[in-house]
Amino acid sequence: MKKVGMVDTTFSRVDMLTEAEDELHSMGHGIEIVKRTVPGIKDLPVECKILLEKENCDIVMAFGMPGNMPIDKMCADEASNGIIMVQLMTNKHIIEVFVHEDEAKNEKELKELSINRAREHARNVYYMLFNPSYLSANKGMGLRQGGKDKGPVV
């Protein structure tokens, strides 16, 4: 059985964790999910590290929704750098699932983007754990999580 950690924030405006959890459960069995919630995006790295080291998760998904102000973008960058450091310290993957509020034109589009990105990254987690050849077969295809795929350069 594989163990997937998931950590989200109270700052997010869409419950992406539940969407990802639902997607993982729909793809098959053999997955135990350990969930945590932290206040903000800069709290994600340490909680990811706890899930990897103390909860022995095989992989973690980190969900965040930075706002559209310059300080929010700086905090997202700091959190992302922290997540990268945790990956290097633990030799385990953390799938960063961030949706910036200014990626969408309105709240309906923001919700749709968030749900799609969470679900598509959940599928990536599944493939990383159980079928990495699927990812290899799709290299160079310009796939995008949450939005329309770009496709390969021809």
pTM, to two decimals: 0.95
Beta strands (DSSP E) in 66-120 are: 94-98
Q: Tokens 């135990």, residue? A: 32
Beta bridge pairs of residue 152: none
Dist. CA 98–CA 25, nearest whole Å? 21
Residue type at position 19:
E
Encode pLDDT of 1-31 as tens digits. Answer: 999 999 999 999 999 999 999 999 999 878 9
Share of the chain above pLDDT 90, in %: 90
> What is the CB-side half-sphere exposure of residue 47 using CA atoms within 13 A?
22
Q: Work out whether strand 94-98 and strand 31-38 pair parallel, antiparallel, or are unpaired.
A: unpaired
Are the C-beta atoms of residues 15 and 21 closer than 8 Å to each other?
A: no
Domains within the chain, CATH numbers bracketed: 2-131 (3.40.50.960)
10: its two tokens = 């109270």
Q: Of 27-36, 51-60, 82-91, 143-152, which gets the smallest average pLDDT?
A: 143-152
